[in-house]
Chain A
C-alpha cells in the first residue's frame, strides 16, 4: 500500500481560485515534502515540513501537518494557469542511517485560465 496517498487524484479549478490537496500516510515520519511535476518533466521540490511543525508557508503555498491524523495538506492560493501540474507528497523516515523517502501517486491539478 502507498505510504503517501494524495487526495483528490485530480482537481480542476478556475484561475484565481485556491487549490487544496491532501496527503495521508500510515507510519511515523521525520518530515514530509511536497513536489511538483510538470508534464514530461522531473519533480521539483516545493516545500518541506518537519514532524514537529504544524504549518509552513512559502509564497502562495501553505502546508499543514497533523501527525496525530497522519495527514498533510497543500494549499495553493490565487492559482495561476502555470500551476497546472501533478503534485506529490513524499514522507521521509530516518532509520539506521538511511532516509526512507516514499512518494504518493500524486494529485493532477488543472488550472483553467
Chain B
C-alpha cells in the first residue's frame, strides 16, 4: 500500500495563477480531507469529503475548490492564487473520519 500520495511536493505560483494539488489513497477510505498548516496556527481544515460525490467546506474554504469523483482521488484546486495561500498543504484519509487519519507527505506552496 502506498497510503496517501500527494503531488507535487513543492510548487511556486505567481499571484492569479491556478493549479491543482493532487491527492490519492489506496486504502479504500471513505473520508478524505485537505488541511493547510501555517506557523503558529496548527492544521486548519479546508474541505472534506465523506465519500465519492460528496464534499463539504471546512474552516477555511475560500479560494479553494474540491471534487470527489472516485473513492481514491480528492484533488484541491486553487482558483486564483494569492500570497495568503502560501502554506503547506496536507491531504488525509480515514475509514470514517473520526478514527486516526493517514496523512500524505505534504505540498509546500509558495505564491509570489
Q: 14 interchain pairs (CB within 8 A)?
A: A35-B103, A42-B4, A42-B90, A42-B106, A45-B101, A92-B97, A92-B98, A97-B50, A99-B98, A103-B35, A103-B43, A105-B40, A105-B41, A105-B42
Q: Give the complex CA separation of A90 and B15 in angstroms.
A: 33
Query: In the bound complex, what is the Cα–Cα distance between A45 and B103 (angstroms)?
Result: 8
Verify A98–B56 contact, CB threshold 8 A.
Answer: yes
Known: A35-B103, A98-B48, A99-B31. 12 other contacts (CB 8 A): A2-B42, A4-B42, A40-B106, A42-B104, A42-B105, A48-B100, A92-B97, A94-B98, A98-B50, A101-B97, A103-B35, A106-B42
Interface residues of A (CB under 8 A from B): 2, 4, 30-31, 33, 35, 40-45, 48, 88, 92, 94, 97-99, 101-106
Residues of A within 8 A of B97 (CB): 92, 98-99, 101
Q: Is A45 within 8 A of B100, CB to CB?
A: yes
- Is there contact, CB below 8 Å, between B42 and A43? no
Count chain B residues whose beta carbon lies closer than 8 angstroms to a beta carbon of A. 26
Q: Which residues of B contact A4 (CB under 8 A)?
A: 42
Determine the distance from Cα of A42 to Cα of B100 in the docked complex, in whole angstroms: 13
Q: Which residue of A is nearest B44, CB measured?
A: A103
Minimum C-beta distance from B107 to chain A (A)? 10
Which chain B positions have C-beta within 8 A of A97? 50
